[in-house]
């Protein structure tokens, strides 16, 4: 029988082991910001659990409820944030602060994606973002109005943590925009995933990477 902790985190045993390794590496390379970096990942896990268990009964009836996730899911969502933290470890000013904001944007992207997929399926019939055609629920690349709204709320909640680093409104808006766009990129790639180009792992990885790259470029251009 699974423990309450396992149910809370929506991770299986290998997923939890992978998450612990990821946490240790983030604390080590994160240095003075290690606890902040780790707290955001924990926040992502908590939000993911909430999103996963929202409308659980309806999801089960439709065969869309995924109770636990493994190490591949942890790596897909955690590899880019870890990469950013390693860059932060070797970075010098002014890139340190840019990387912290970009880390937040990456977490905002994967959280937005989680809300879009887990809460979006509770809405009506989704459409494929690239073709605007109606598709079956659970199909990669599909979006709903509820899912898009939920993903924005998720990106907003994570982006608000940027004020803990600096009361910079421009940085906050860039993080919010980049996090939301990361989810859009995920939906676009989902279209190709359905056609055999990539899989759920690569799509999730690209989502996190998009949040990072978009925010890093915009933050650098803004002179943050």
Determine how many CB atoms are found less than 10 A away from the CB of residue 202.
15
The per-residue pLDDT for 55 is 83
CA atoms 78, 200, 59, 178: torsion sign: positive
Within the chain, which residues score under 70 in pLDDT?
Answer: 1-10, 63-68
- pLDDT tens-place string over residues 31-69: 989 999 999 999 998 898 888 888 878 877 776 666 667
The per-residue pLDDT for 137 is 80
The per-residue pLDDT for 68 is 60
The per-residue pLDDT for 194 is 80
């Amino acid at each position: 029988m699974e423990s309450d902790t396992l149910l809370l985190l929506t991770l299986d045993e290998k997923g939890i082991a992978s998450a612990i390794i990821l946490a240790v590496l983030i604390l080590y390379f994160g240095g003075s910001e290690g606890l902040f970096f780790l707290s955001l990942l924990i926040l992502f896990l908590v939000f993911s659990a909430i999103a996963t268990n929202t409308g659980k009964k309806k999801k089960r009836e439709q065969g869309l409820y995924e109770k636990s996730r493994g190490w591949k899911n942890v790596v897909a969502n955690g590899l880019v944030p870890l990469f950013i933290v390693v860059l932060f470890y070797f970075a010098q000013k002014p890139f340190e602060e840019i990387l912290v904001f970009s880390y937040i944007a990456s977490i905002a992207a994967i959280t937005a994606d989680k809300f879009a997929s887990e809460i979006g399926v509770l809405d009506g019939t989704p459409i494929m973002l690239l073709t605007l055609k109606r598709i079956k629920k659970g199909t990669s690349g599909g979006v709903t109005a509820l899912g898009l709204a939920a993903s924005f709320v998720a990106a907003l909640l994570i982006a608000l943590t940027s004020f803990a680093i600096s009361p910079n409104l421009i940085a906050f808006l860039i993080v919010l925009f980049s996090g939301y766009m990361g989810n859009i990129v995920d939906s676009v790639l989902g279209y190709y995933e359905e056609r055999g180009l990539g899989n759920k792992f690569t799509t999730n990885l690209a989502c996190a990477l998009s949040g990072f790259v978009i925010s890093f470029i915009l933050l650098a251009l803004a002179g943050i």
